[in-house]
Structure formats: structure tokens, C-alpha cells
Amino acid sequence: MKKLSEVNLSSLPQGFMWGAATASFQIEGGYASGDRGRCIWDDLCDVPGAISDGTKDCVGVEHLTHLEEDLDLIKWMNLDTYRFSFSWPRVQPTGSGEFSEKGMQFYDRLVDGLLARGIIPNATLYHWDLPSELQTIGGWANPVVVDKFVAYAEKMAERFADRITYWATFNEPWCTTYLGNTIGVHAPGIKDLPTTVKVAHQLVRAHALASAAIKRKAPKAKVGVVLNLGDQILLGESSPQAQKDLQTVDGLVNRWWLQGMLQGKYPVDILDIFEELTGIRPDEKEIADTSNGRDWVGLNYYQAGVFKAADTGIDVHPGTKAIDGALFGNEVTDIGWSWTPDGFNKTLHYINNMFPQIPILITENGACYNNEPGTDGEIHDDKREEYLSLYISAAVRARSEGVNLVGYYVWSLLDNFEWSFGFSKRFGIVFVDLETMKRTPKQSAHSYRAMIQK
Ligand code: FCB
């Protein structure tokens, strides 16, 4: 299957939601103009060598000043829903104290603009842009930061209760924990195991507490969390130790977040490993009531986790060590991630088997292809279209096999700042000329638009 027009959607229920996703730091801009406070990604951009294309003073794709145009694009694309994130330092520049009315008004315009166009907003409170001041007191390892997050969540719920139904607390807490604090390729760029364990625990607590805070102000809200889960594949010789490591990776990537955030329970094998490595054993009694934060669960999925038995050594989280699509022998995208649509289907079943009663939204799925406009001015990203066709088919199949799947968001609406890769990796279905900021829908955007047209 190579084209989105070949995907058979007939088994999907009425009301299945199609969308596209973005995140504040990746698209908005506005630090230099004083429109928001500083965040840990501004800081990481200042560290020489941290961002592969040397991006400094990141302006995203200037969504802040292109808002109306981007809203019109969303409408043009026939989307039912749009997933975005609030920039915490835009609405509360230091993460404590005063909120910024100007920052709030930007999101008023965004949310009102979506609603006026008949599009359902889905808002994430934290997609990695922690106010820098909060990192100076220890970031997510410090429970005081959790209290501040809860206050921020409550404030946003109060302001938007009348207009936003779908809320997520966190985007991919695994990335915040391990990419940010174990291997340090993401902000805040720390490499420390005790910090890692503390962060893994505080994020779970923060989800439960912030969900309750949202519900206090917005009782009708549907609150969930967005997780990057995946099937874990072991390459090479399978020894009893390798099987055990496979379980551990599954625990670190999947069970810790699913069970912790949705059930308030920690997997004992992972608690044992954390304790063995750091002397710290997070106490699940500190998680509090998780019942407010499981109205839905978001899955971000790009590829299977692959690691080689020989690479195991739990101290650095083996799942991150060997994720290299080429190892797997599959086709890879321009960021080196492998095509694993069957793994997507499997992961949907994995979540559904654990929590059959919780609706699943695919909150991100997409592909990096760096196609530039051709001589005809069009962007012929047929590999992206083929990737999307295979993955969407795998998701639709899961739904027809009984998985409680209710929607799909493509990552991403626009080409944008791809974290430590800077602007060198393009995930958008809309091309952005980085000199002029002109937006041009790619072939995949035209095809997605046609596929979801009612
Ligand atoms: C996910 C992130 C998102 C984007 C995609 C490619 O891990 O949530 O911001 O970078 O990967």
C-alpha cells in the first residue's frame, strides 16, 4: 500500500477523530521579542554542540506571528481536532507567581480560532519547555516543581474550562526522564541516575495531582497523558539474561508509565532495579489518586524499540542505546527510524489488553523526510505518504480487531524544530521555507485532507 487513498476506513466508527499535532517550543518562537520567559530548551540551544545544526535563539516556525494563517491551514485540511501544547513560560514566565495576560491571550486566540472553525482543541500542558528558573531548583527531581506544575494546571483549567475538553498533562515523560536526565541529549542535559529515578517518580505524581487540579476547575474535562510506548525487540542471541533485560526495557518504557500514571502502581521489577542502581525506591503511596487522569490515553508511536542482547547493561537504559533502524534491516526514514507498522498494531493491542476500558488516541505518528520543493514547486513526499498509509492501516486494523481507538493525529502539521536535530529533520505534512516562513502543503497533506474529507 503506497497511497492514503488506498486505506480502507470503512470499519471506523462515526465520530473517529482525525487531527494533526504540534508543540509550543517547536513552532511558536517569541523569546527574543520578550513574549515569553526562558525555558530549558533555550538554555540547551546555548550549549555548544548540543543541537546538531547549531540552532540558537530558536524561533520555531514563527507560529506566534502566523497564527491566523496556521488556523486556516488546519481548517483547509479538514481536521476534526488539533493537538497543541501550552508554553508554560509564555503564560507564567518563571514558573512561579504572576501569570502573563499577554501569554494567555495568545492561547485565547488559538483556542477561539479553532472553535470558530469547528475544530476540537486538545491541549498538552507540558511538552518539554520547563521555565529555566525551575531547573535552577532541581527541575522535575524536586517535588516543589510538581506543586508549581499543579498550580499552573489549575490556572489553565480555570481559564479554558469553557472551551477545552481534551487535556493531557505530559508529553512523553519517558523522554523527559531518560533523554533529559540519563543520556542528556535533551534539556536539561543531565546524565545522572539518581536524578533519573527521582524524575521518573515525580512525573507520575505530577500527572495524578495535576489531573485532579484540572478536574477541580473543569469537571467536564477529559484528562489523559501522552506516552511514547512501544514493542521492544531483542536482536541477537536470546539467553535467559537477555530475556530478563527485554522485560526490564518493557518495564522502563511501557509499564512504569501505564501502571504508574493510570493505576497508581509501580512495577516491582523496575522498583528493584532502581533501588539496586541508586538506592532510591520510589514509594507508590506518594502518587495519590490517579482516577482523574485516565479519561483517555495518548500513544505516540514511530518505531519499535530495538536493542541487541550484547548491548544490555541496564545502567544506561538499553532501550535508548541501540535504537538504530538499520540494525533491524527495515526501511528507515531520514532520521534513521525504522518502519514498523506491525509494531504499531501490537502496541495498540498491548495498551488495550491492559486497559480495555480506556479510550486510546494516537497523539503522534509520522515520518521524517526532508523533501524540498521540486521544479514544479510541489513537495513530492511519497515516502511519507507510503509510511502513513501503512501505519494508518495498521491502526484501523487494530480498531477492527476490537481496540478502543478513537482518534489519530499526524505528527506534524508543520516542519519544525526537531529538538537536538534542530531544523535538519522535517516531519511536517506542510513544508515551511525557513527563510521566508512560507507554508506549502506537501503531497501528503493533500492526500491526508482528501482521505479524511467527510
Ligand atoms: C516525539 C515528540 C515530538 C516530535 C516527534 C518527532 O518524540 O513528542 O515533539 O519531536 O517525536
C-alpha pair distances (Å), 84 with each of 226, 441, 448: 12, 19, 19
Cα distance between residue 89 and residue 149, in whole Å: 11
Sign of the dihedral defined by the CA atoms of residues 155, 160, 162, 166, in that order: negative
With both helix axes pointing from N to C terminus, report the angle between 256-263 and 193-217 in degrees, rounded to the nearest 10: 30
172 lines ligand 1 (CB under 6 A): yes
C-alpha pair distances (Å), 127 with each of 23, 28, 86, 176, 439: 6, 13, 8, 9, 23
Look at residue 307 and give its three-state secondary structure. strand
Sign of the dihedral defined by the CA atoms of residues 24, 26, 27, 30, in that order: positive
Look at residue 98 and give its three-state secondary structure. coil
Amino acid at 309: A
Residues 6+ apart with CB under 8 A from 8: 393, 396
| pLDDT value at residue 1 | 79
Could you tell me if 241 and 159 are in contact, meaning their C-beta atoms sit under 8 angstroms apart?
no
CATH of the domain at 100: 3.20.20.80
| pLDDT value at residue 325 | 54
| Residue 412 alpha carbon to ligand 1 centre in Å | 9
| pLDDT value at residue 372 | 98
171 lines ligand 1 (CB under 6 A): yes
| pLDDT value at residue 311 | 53
| Residue 83 alpha carbon to ligand 1 centre in Å | 13
| Residue 427 alpha carbon to ligand 1 centre in Å | 9
| pLDDT value at residue 319 | 42
| pLDDT value at residue 236 | 73
Residues counted in the chain: 454
418 lines ligand 1 (CB under 6 A): yes
Q: What is the pLDDT along the chain (454 residues), one digit of tens a residue?
A: 799 999 999 999 999 999 999 999 999 999 999 999 999 999 999 999 999 999 999 999 999 999 999 999 999 999 999 999 999 999 999 999 999 999 999 999 999 999 999 999 999 999 999 999 999 999 999 999 999 999 999 999 999 999 999 999 999 999 999 999 988 999 999 999 999 999 999 999 999 999 999 999 999 999 999 999 999 888 777 778 778 888 888 999 999 999 999 999 999 999 999 998 899 999 999 999 999 999 999 999 999 987 766 554 444 454 444 445 555 678 999 998 999 999 999 999 999 999 999 999 999 999 999 999 999 999 999 999 999 999 999 999 999 999 999 999 999 999 999 999 999 999 999 999 999 999 999 999 999 999 999 7
Mutate to test the pocket of ligand 1, among 419, 423, 426 (most ligand atoms within 8 A of CB): 419
Residue linked to cell 489518586? 289
23 lines ligand 1 (CB under 6 A): yes
Cα distance between residue 159 and residue 305, in whole Å: 39
Look at residue 337 and give its three-state secondary structure. coil
Give the three cell numbers for residue 41: 530548551
Could you tell me if 226 and 174 are in contact, meaning their C-beta atoms sit under 8 angstroms apart?
no
Residues 6+ apart with CB under 8 A from 14: none
| pLDDT value at residue 58 | 97
Mutate to test the pocket of ligand 1, among 172, 177, 301 (most ligand atoms within 8 A of CB): 172
> Bridge-partner residues for 405, per DSSP?
360
419 lines ligand 1 (CB under 6 A): yes
| Residue 276 alpha carbon to ligand 1 centre in Å | 31
Domain count, the chain: 1
Could you tell me if 91 and 99 are in contact, meaning their C-beta atoms sit under 8 angstroms apart?
yes
Q: Comparing C-alpha atoms, which of 257, 265, 176 is closest to residue 224? A: 257
| pLDDT value at residue 324 | 53
Q: Which domain holds residue 54?
A: 4-453
129 lines ligand 1 (CB under 6 A): no
**172 assigned to active site:** yes
Cα distance between residue 423 and residue 58, in whole Å: 10
Could you tell me if 17 and 78 are in contact, meaning their C-beta atoms sit under 8 angstroms apart?
no
Cα distance between residue 139 and residue 145, in whole Å: 6
| pLDDT value at residue 309 | 61
Amino acid at 188: P
| pLDDT value at residue 320 | 40
Q: Where are the alpha helices (DSSP H) in 179-294?
A: 180-181, 193-217, 240-250, 256-263, 268-278
- Of 28, 364, 385, 386, which residue is the catalytic one? 364
**364 assigned to active site:** yes
Which ligand 1 atom sits closest to the C-alpha of 416? Answer: 10
70 lines ligand 1 (CB under 6 A): no
With both helix axes pointing from N to C terminus, report the angle between 443-452 and 382-400 in degrees, rounded to the nearest 10: 30
pTM over 0.95: yes
86 lines ligand 1 (CB under 6 A): no
364 lines ligand 1 (CB under 6 A): yes
CB atoms within 10 A of CB 412: 23
- Of 28, 154, 172, 418, which residue is the catalytic one? 172
| Residue 336 alpha carbon to ligand 1 centre in Å | 14
